[in-house]
Amino acid sequence: MSATLLQVEGLGVHFAVRGRRLQALEDVSFTLEERGALGVAGESGSGKSTLARAILRLVPRVEGTVRWEGADIYRLAAVELRRRRRHVQIVFQDPLASLDPRQTIGAIVAEPLEVIEPGLARAERAERVRRTLERVGLGADLANRYPHEFSGGQCQRVAIARAIVGSPRLLVCDEPLSSLDVSVQAQIVNLLDDLRRELGIALVFISHNLAVVRRTVQRVLVLYLGRTVELADRDALYATPRHPYTRALLDAVPVPDPARARRGGPTAATDLSSAFASRAGCVFARRCPFAVDRCRQVVPALESAGPGHLVACHRWRELP
């Protein structure tokens, strides 16, 4: 039994947008064990990036709690928070935008060390940077180059190197693949898998594409307009998805096989979702082909649909 690394309970985040309240996240709960991997799936506006930021205390305040190894990070003193930050790192979607264009790759990867281990001797620091660059598949001889000299995939490797140089226990990856070519995505997936297996770094892997997270994660959280609609172990979620939204996400993945590709078929009417819509009832009801009156009136509770399998749908038992 491994220890709990990340515990999120009743997490809510809202923003005020032109005088209106935008509920970006509402009552989200999950735990992540050491060395574990959680996938977070949902469309734009589902709250998945807000979740990433909330986990790192990059939003000013939240409802509920986020605990790293038991410590409630929104109640930690600044000094203590800073001391613990080295254990939780993030990789963003657009690698070129998240790297300083005026710093060399070596300087970018070395920078966290200056904060985390200020006492480190210069030679030792250079050695750590060299080892980390090699670990992510970049030659150490590239340390003197600048980000614009690299492809998107290489820049993402640099961003990963910067995130792992301080030996974190948790890496939050917010759509780390969506700005990359498909052929390069596979390389990064394999790299993240290796880091978890070999260095024991736990992952929160956020993506709008369920096919992308499938290989890497053990559990999957599906968000829609800020609410948990389904949370299940990987195999259960892909084999027996219970929520109509999870099914829509799975159906939307293109099939790289012309004999089986959809030629027609219903569409998911994505434009019906609005972050400002009424939150009475199920937030997915407006798009759901199975919605009945109850769905529009009563917020569905998370129910158990099997071991470790939670679904928020009034009608999951009746669905075809």
Partner 1 sequence: MRPLLEISGLNVRFSTPEGEVAAVRDVSLQLQAGECLGVVGESGSGKSQVFLAALGLLARNGSVDGTARFDDFALIGGKRADLNRIRGARIGMIFQDPMTSLAPHLTIGEQLSEVLQFHRGLDRRSASDRAREQLERVHIGDAATRLGQYPHELSGGMRQRVMIAMALLCEPQLVIADEPTTALDVTVQAEILALFRELRSTTRLALAVISHDAGVIAELCDRVAVMYAGRVVEEAAVDTIFTTPRHPYTQGLLAAVPRIDGTLDGPMQTVPGQPPAALEDIPGCSFAARCPRVGDRCRVERPELRANGNPMHIYACHHPVVEWRK
Q: Binding residues for partner 1, per CB under 8 A?
A: 43-44, 151-154, 181-187, 189-190, 193, 208-212, 214-215, 238, 248-259, 261-265, 267-271
Taking the alpha carbons at both ends of the chain, their separation in whole angstroms is 37
Q: State both tokens at 177.
A: 């693949």
Site of tokens 């790759």: 105
Q: Report d(CA 7, CA 1) in Å as an integer.
A: 16
Q: How far is the CB of 112 from partner 1 (least distance, A)?
A: 26
Residue nearer to partner 1 on the CB measure, 69 or 251? 251
CB 182, min distance to partner 1, A: 5
Least distance from C-beta 155 to partner 1, angstroms? Answer: 12
Tokens for 253, please give them. 């993945």
The full length of the chain comes to 320
Shortest reach from residue 166's CB to partner 1, in Å: 26
CA dist 293 and 274 (Å) reads 19
Residues contacting residue 84 through CB under 8 Å, at least 6 positions apart: 68, 69, 71, 73, 76
Task: Closer to partner 1 by CB, 183 or 304: give it.
Answer: 183
Nearer to partner 1, 132 or 216 (CB): 216
Q: b or e along 73-105 (b: 16 or more beta carbons within 10 Å of the residue's beta carbon)?
A: bbebeeeeeeebbbbbbbbbbbbbebbeeeebb
- Nearest approach, Cβ of residue 190 and partner 1 (Å): 4
Of 66 and 229, which CB lies nearer to partner 1 in the complex structure? 229
Complex with partner 1: residue 208 or 296, whichever CB lies closer: 208
